[in-house]
Amino acid sequence: MKLLIKLAITALLANAAFRLGTEYLTHYKFRDSVREAAMYRAGTEDELRQRILETAALYGIPLKDEGFTIRRESGQSFIQGSYTKPIELVPGYPYPWRFDWEIEAIVSGVPPLPGATQPRPAHPPGQP
């Protein structure tokens, strides 16, 4: 009986670690995609805002337009935001987990040289 309780607790902890780790991995990939968009593909502030919202939707992140701010100063972009996503740490009981993020990117206004590699497009989780 004691062994079953220990195994159940271990299974619950492993489940929580897996679910939380998966969400953090998605969060870090999202942040990297936003940083790339701010550095290489940023046009106007509205275009960057739209690209961030599209990237969030691609990764399944519940980000709203008022969930982040964009500030630009002399060749740099500062993007700050947060979102809350329910994560089932224990099966059947979602917990609202808050993710805060902050990005500082130097905007490259120089066009790439002919034949240079282009920045990677954002891929949703589970795709190469």
Instruction: Calculate what percentage of the chain has a pLDDT beyond 70.
Output: 83
Distances (CA, A) of 115 to 14, 29, 41, 49, 73: 46, 26, 17, 29, 30
Instruction: Calculate what percentage of the chain has a pLDDT beyond 90.
Output: 50
Q: Quick one: pLDDT band at residue 74, thresholds 50, 70, 90?
A: confident
- Mention every residue, 6+ apart, whose C-beta is less than 8 A from residue 87: 19, 20, 23, 94, 95, 97
Q: What is the pLDDT of residue 83?
A: 94
Q: What is the pLDDT of residue 97?
A: 93
104-112 mean pLDDT: 72
Burial environment of residue 34 by CB neighbours within 10 A (0 to 12, 13 to 18, 19 or more): buried
28-56 mean pLDDT: 87
Compute the distance between CA of residue 77 and CA of residue 110 in angstroms, rounded to an integer.
Answer: 15
Q: What is the pLDDT of residue 42?
A: 63
Q: Quick one: pLDDT band at residue 90, thresholds 50, 70, 90?
A: confident
pTM of the predicted protein model: 0.76
**Is a pLDDT exceeding 90 seen at residue 96?**
yes
> What average pLDDT is seen over the chain?
85
